[in-house]
């Protein structure tokens, strides 16, 4: 009789202390990527109505981009990418180690998507850029 009471007490105390000694289970730190339809093609960066005349070749590898423009190669990256809906992502676009900005990625079709900065020049409000003003346009 005494042994069974000790066994029950030991089992209960071990069950209560087990969560303290075990590592807590957390969600995996899964990285969000743009859809494979975006990442698996070569894109051309175009301009909106208020900018000059870009026609840069851009390729993706994960959330990193290689932009080839006028004989120079630039490496951009997307961080903190979050999926908001089927065609909308939010994140931070890093142009260099010191320059980045918050952007909205709007996937218009399989052959067209836009990077819209949070505060575009000439627009009022957050993420209000369009193909006419404030967006970085990518087309195949």
C-beta atoms surrounding 51 within 10 Å? 13
| CATH number for the domain formed by residue range(s) 36-139 | 2.40.128
- The average pLDDT across 3-21 equals 60
At residue 2, the pLDDT reads 58
Helix, strand, or coil here: 37? helix
**How much of the chain exceeds pLDDT 90, in percent?**
42
Q: What is the pLDDT of residues 23-68, one digit of tens each?
A: 555 555 678 899 988 888 999 888 665 565 677 899 999 999 999 9
Rg (CA), the chain: 25
Q: What is the pLDDT of residues 92-125, one digit of tens each?
A: 999 999 999 999 999 999 999 999 999 877 777 8
Question: Where do the domains of the chain lie?
Answer: 36-139
At residue 46, the pLDDT reads 82
| Residue among 132, 133, 77, 137 at smallest CA distance from 106 | 137
For tokens 């142009």, name the residue.
95
At residue 3, the pLDDT reads 66
Q: What is the DSSP letter of 121?
A: T
At residue 17, the pLDDT reads 56
At residue 79, the pLDDT reads 94
At residue 19, the pLDDT reads 54
Compare 81 and 134 and report the one with higher pLDDT: 81
* H or E stretch covering 10: helix 2-21
User: Mean pLDDT of all residues in the chain?
Assistant: 81
135/38 Cα distance (integer angstroms): 17
């Amino acid at each position: 009789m005494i042994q069974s009471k000790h066994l029950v007490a030991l089992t209960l105390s071990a069950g209560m202390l087990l969560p303290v000694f075990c590592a807590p289970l957390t969600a995996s730190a899964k990285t969000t990527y743009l859809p494979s339809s975006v990442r698996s093609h070569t894109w051309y960066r175009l301009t909106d109505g208020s900018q000059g005349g870009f026609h840069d070749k851009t390729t993706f590898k994960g959330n990193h981009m290689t932009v080839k423009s006028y004989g120079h190669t630039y490496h951009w990256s997307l961080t903190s990418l979050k999926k908001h809906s089927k065609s909308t992502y939010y994140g931070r676009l890093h142009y260099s180690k010191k320059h980045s900005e918050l952007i909205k990625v709007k996937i218009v079709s399989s052959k067209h998507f836009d990077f819209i900065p949070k505060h575009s020049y000439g627009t009022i409000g957050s993420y209000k850029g369009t193909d006419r003003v404030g967006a970085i346009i990518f087309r195949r």
